[in-house]
A and B are shown apart, each in its own frame.
Chain A
């Protein structure tokens, strides 16, 4: 039965990790714009110009 105590603690730590990851993602601005990336992903790169593109 002692093992369940250990498991509870481990599961809580894992969950805390996810909470931290979520808070980090808000802070780093990942939720600032949740509309434009959805449009951006649909653009096709025109290939013939790839030699003209400067290195960004």
Chain B
């Protein structure tokens, strides 16, 4: 895949790709939901925002972003609406649904538990 970033790979490669673990997939979903929970926006703005907030560590390729957004939409977690943007061009704006917010909460909880568990493991010192 040509456009995969060289940083931490969060590529959503479609559901057939066995290499993508559930963890990573779920994490991308969570990130997207979180960003949208803060402010409804379109796909392009999202790709910008992702890079911006993660300090370019998380590089989600454009190619991976859209299928991921579509998946969230088909799951009923976000809805899409065509709106005219500030520059006067029509764009598809995504915002999370009630279902999506609940999902975000759940995944954030999971993530919190997981990351604290991992940190604890990493910080173990030899006795």
Report if A and B associate in a common complex: no
Chain B residues packing against A (C-beta within 8 Å): none
